[in-house]
Amino acid sequence: MGREHWKRIWIGSAGNMVEWYDWFVYASFATYFAGAFFPDGNPTAQLMNTAGIFAVGFFMRPVGGWLLGRVGDRRGRKAALTLTVTLMSASAVLIAIAPTYAVAGYGGVLVLLVARLLQGLSVGGEYAASATYLTEATDPKRRGFASSFQYVSMTAGQIVGLGLQIVLQRTLSDDALHSYGWRIPFVVGALGAAVVFYLRRNMLETEVYDADETGGEERGTLRALWRYKREAFLVIALTMGGTVAYYTYTTYLTKYLSNSAGLSKETATLVSFTALIVFACLQPLAGRLSDRIGRRPLLITFAVGSTFLTVPIMTMLKNAGSFWPALGLSLLALVVVTGYTSINACVKAELFPTGVRALGVALPYAIANALFGGTAEYVALWFKDAGAESGFYWYVAGCAAVSLVVYLTMRETRDLDLTRMTASETSTLTTAS
C-alpha cells in the first residue's frame, strides 16, 4: 500500500480512536464516578445506574446512524467523519464539567445523560463512516487488512484510556480519584478530538464515492435503504453475537474482574490493559488473513469459539484469583473475538452499493448495538444482582449461536467490486452458494 493509502487509514483511524477513547473511558472510570452522581448506597446499584446511562447512549446510536449515515451518503464520508468528532468533543466537555449529586442533586445526572446522548449520536455515525471510508479508500485486495484498523483504533482508544487510568491510580490517592481525578480523562478526550477535527478537515474523499453517480436525490435515504432490507437485517443478525462478546471482554471485563472475581481495581485494570494491547496487534493479522481465505471462515471460527467457550472462560475468570490466570483467560477470549472484530467493518460495507453504503452499515449496526451491545453490561449486572451471574454467560453464548447460523448461510463478500454493485448482486449475499 502506498503512502497516500496509509495516510487515509491513519486519519480515519485517529478520529475513530478518539471517538472510542471517550466512549470507553466512561465505562472504565465508572467505578470511580458512580458514587458522585447518585446517593450513597449499594455499590452494585450505583454501577447499574451508570451502566443504565451507558446503555441509553446506545439507544441514540440508531438516530446517529440514520442522521450521519445520510450525511455520509449525500455529502461524503469526510463530512460525516468531521461532524462525528465535533459531537464527541462536546460530549467529553460536558462530562468533564458535570456537577456531582452533592452540588446539584440529580442535575448532574441530567448533564451526564445529555452527554451520553451526544456520544450516542456521534458513535452511531462514526462506525459506519469510518468503516465505509476505510473499506473504500484502499486496494480491493487489501480491504480486510485496511478495515481491521477500525478495531485497532477502537482498541487503541481503550488502551489509552486504561493507560491513563493506571497512571492516575499510581499518582493520585483513591479519594482523589473519586473526588476529581475521574474528570481528567474527559478533558484529555476533548483536547484529542480538537486535534482530530483539524486533521479531518484536510482529509481526502474516497475515489469510490467521488466516482459514483447513482442514486440522485434518494442517496442515503430510508427509501433507498429499503431496497436492501435483506442486507440490513443481515447486518443486525451478524452483529448480534459479535457485539455482545466484544463488550463483555472489553468494557465490562475490568468491572467483572474487580466486582465479581475479587481482584483489586489496579490489577483488573492492568489485566485489561495488557490483553487489549495483544488484541490490537491481532487485528491486522486476522484482517490480512481474510483477504487470503475469505471473511466467512473467520466469522464462523469466532461464532463456534464464542458459543462453546464463553461459559467455561467466564466461570474460570471468576475464580482466577490473580493477574496471570486472569490475563491468560482474557487473551483466549479476545483471540476468539478477533474473528469478528477484525473484519466485520468491511463485511458490512461490502453488502451495500456506494449510494447507500454509509446508511446501510450505520442504521442496522446501531440497532443491533442498542439491543445487544449497549445492554450487555447492564444485563450482566442484572444477573449478578439477582444472584444468578452464570445466566449472563449463557446469554453471551446464545447470542453467538444465533450469529453462527447467519455466518453459515451468508455468502462470501471478499471479491465483490464496490464500484459495480447492483441490487440483484447484493440480494444474493444472504444465501451461501
pLDDT band at 204 (very low <50, low <70, confident <90, very high): confident
Rounded to 10 degrees, the C-alpha dihedral 137/139/144/145 comes to: -90
CA distance 126 to 68: 8
Gyration radius (Cα) of the chain, Å: 20
| Higher-scoring residue by pLDDT: 404, 213 | 404
For residue 97, what is its C-alpha cell? 464539567
CA distance 358 to 245: 24
Contact 139, 131 (CB under 8 A): no
CA distance 145 to 127: 17
CA distance 342 to 299: 9
Full-model pTM: 0.86
Contact 55, 116 (CB under 8 A): no
For residue 64, what is its C-alpha cell? 446517529
For residue 191, what is its C-alpha cell? 483536547
Q: 216-219: which pairs have CB atoms within 8 A and are 24 or more residues apart?
A: 218/355, 219/73, 219/74, 219/355, 219/356
Report whether pLDDT(176) > 70: yes
Question: Looking up cell 484536510, which residue turns up?
Answer: 202
Give mean pLDDT, residues 316-334. Answer: 96
Residue 120, number of CB atoms within 10 A of its CB: 29
- pLDDT digit string, tens, across residues 10-59: 887 787 788 778 877 877 787 787 777 776 666 666 666 676 776 677 77
